[in-house]
Structure formats: C-alpha cells, structure tokens
Amino acid sequence: MNSTLLTLLLTTLFSVSALALVTPPPSKLTDCSANGWSLRRIGEGDALAFKEVEEKCVARFQISPQTAQIHNGWRAEIEDPLRFEHGTLAIYEFSTYVPTQLNEGDIPNLVFAQWHDNKAPGVAAERPPFSIRLKNGKFVLPLFNENVIRKQGLKGPGQILYAQPAVYGQWTRWKVRALWSADNKGRIEVWMNNRKVANYRGPVGYRADSTAPYFKLGIYTTESFSRPLWIYHTDYKRTHTGGHSTLSAPRGVDRP
C-alpha cells in the first residue's frame, strides 16, 4: 500500500464523520452499567444505583438536600458523550418510572431528560433547547430558541409543546425525534407510550452553539426540597442520520 493511499485511509477512519461509526453508543442501562456515559454530573453516595427488575436492570437517580450542588443545582445526571453538528436528525428512546413519592408533599420542579445547548468556551449557557420535566404534577415539555429567549428572557417558561397530568407508579416509554436546526428547518416530535404528544416545526436551539444540543438523563432541580427524591430510567437507545459527530469536549469546555 503506497503512502498516499494509507494517509487517505487513516484520514477517513479518524475523521469526525466516521467517529460515530467507530464509537459505540452508551450503555442501554439494562446491563447494570453506565458504560460509555459521562458521569461528571453524578455525585457521591446514592446518586446512581442499579436494580434488577424482571431480569433486566434499571438505573435509579437520586438527589438529596444534604448533598453538594453541582453546577448551581441538585443533580444526578448521565450524559451521552456524542455531539452532533447542526442539521442532524436524531432519535432518542428511553423508559422512565416516576415513583408515587414524587406526587406526595412539596415536590420541586424536576428535569429528568434534557437536551442542553453547547456553547464555545467563555460563552454563557442559555436555556436547554428541549427538556422533559415534572412540574406541578404534570409532564411538561418546554422548547427554547432565540425567539423565545428574546420574548421571555432567560427565566421564561419556554414554548410549551405538551403539559398533561404525569404518570406515576408505572413505566412510560419516551421517543423523541429531533432535527437539530436553529432555523426554520428544525423539528421536535415526541411520543409517549407510542402516542404522539408533540409535533413542532421551527427553530430549535441557538445559531451560536458549537454543536447541536447534547443529551442528559437523570434528575435535576434548582429549587430547594426537604427529602431525598429519586426516579428510574432504563432501555436507552439513540440513533442518528446525516451530519457529523464527535466526542464531547474535555471537562469544563461545554456548559453545565
């Protein structure tokens, strides 16, 4: 093999576009592991634990008022380390079990799945372009983009794509199909237990972002609470078409 051909082959193998093919997706969590996930937002103690249920594992994410905050909030989240370029179509699926204790007493607003903006170093983060939340007894799906921030500011509720009573004490299967584009080509479609609950077309995220939003799964709040809170997730799947992808930047480069 001549040197030119060898160089071309190596360039192809290690190009950004090929990285998604040679980098396996993170664990589905059903194997009692978080292999392939970033754990930098998992604290000490009982923040992440695995439990076998009906011959497969589920992951329990727990926050406690006694534990130290991480990035200005109480969180136990794992992060899918792949970053997609703008224009990528990605599909995310996972199952969530919201225990009945999250419907008892004074429960803060909780985020249990979010697709966060990814800014360049030194640029302040904005609101997550999309997330799934438990708020006042409802599953709430807010969307943010430049237009929403311009109208509402950083503390606004976002454009609500769905808000209906939450499901407690049983598994809910989520599927999110996202075309990551900060212009009018963007799209978010959401299914809950195979029922379509959201169908949005328009900008998703921010044009200044370094990449498309990245995914985090777990439990998170910025509001005070008085007792440990936990939630279960399992059977994660993520596929994508189009666009390039790369591994996440070193710790501290992307925003919390």
User: What is the reported pLDDT for 81?
Assistant: 92
pLDDT score of 56: 87
Q: What is the pTM of this model?
A: 0.86
Domain count, the chain: 1
Binning the chain into helix, strand and coil, the percentages to the nearest 5 are: 10, 45, 45
Query: Across residues 70-81, what is the average pLDDT?
Result: 94
Contact indicator for 94, 239 with CB cutoff of 8 Å: no
Q: Quote the mean pLDDT of the chain.
A: 86
Secondary structure (3-state) at 147: helix
8 domain-assigned: no
Is residue 67 included in any domain, yes or no? yes
pLDDT tens-digit readout, 132-142: 999 999 999 99
Is residue 255 domain-resident? no
75 close to 94: Cβ distance less than 8 angstroms: no
pLDDT at residue 83 is higher than 50: yes
Report pLDDT for 169: 95
Q: What is the mean pLDDT of residues 12-19?
A: 36
Task: Please indicate, yes or no, if residue 219 is contained in any of the structural domains.
Answer: yes
pLDDT at 243: 57
C-alpha–C-alpha distance, residues 45 and 90, integer Å:
33
Would residue 11 count as lying in a domain?
Answer: no
Q: Is the pLDDT of residue 15 over 80?
A: no
| Closest by Cα among 236, 246, 243, 225 to 30 | 236
Range of 40's domain?
Answer: 25-247
Residue 167 lies in a domain: yes
Higher pLDDT, 6 or 115: 115
CATH classification at residue 200: 2.60.120.200
Separation of alpha carbons 158 and 43, rounded Å: 29
Structure tokens at 256: 């919390």
Which residues, at least 6 apart from 213, have a Cβ–Cβ distance to it below 8 Å? 115, 116, 117, 118, 128, 129, 130, 178, 180, 204, 205
Q: Would residue 75 count as lying in a domain?
A: yes
